């Protein structure tokens, strides 16, 4: 009887270990929005000359210029595609 309980406990531990590991990695992976879509969002919001696009801190950071030549900095949420921050400089 003890061997049977020990075997069940061992099997349960082996099954539970991978499930726990999977729970720790939830939310880690490629961004929901690829760089091409981030570029398209920036263009649709007035950016005509894109100088730099980077994904860090969980958002796309896009730097460039608008049609009037003003410098523009934009942050895009990769999960929703909305603009989290937009700033224009003279």
Please give the pLDDT value at position 65: 97
- Residues 39-44 have a mean pLDDT of 96
pTM over 0.85: no
Burial degree of 42 (CB within 10 A; 0-12, 13-18, 19+): buried
SS3 state of residue 70: coil
Summarised one tens digit per residue, pLDDT across range 47-56 is: 999 999 999 9
pLDDT at 25 over 60: no
Please work out, in degrees rounded to the nearest 5, the angle formed at the alpha carbon of residue 20 by the alpha carbons of 18 and 26: 105
User: What's the CATH architecture for 35-89?
Assistant: Roll (3.10)
């Amino acid at each position: 009887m003890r061997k049977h309980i020990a075997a069940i406990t061992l099997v349960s531990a082996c099954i539970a270990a991978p499930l726990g590991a999977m729970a720790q990695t939830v939310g880690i992976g490629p961004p929901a929005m690829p760089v091409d879509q981030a570029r398209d969002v920036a263009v649709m919001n007035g950016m005509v000359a894109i100088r730099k696009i980077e994904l860090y801190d969980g958002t796309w950071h896009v730097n460039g210029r608008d049609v009037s030549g003003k410098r523009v900095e934009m942050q895009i949420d990769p999960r929703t595609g909305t603009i989290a921050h937009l700033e224009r400089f003279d």
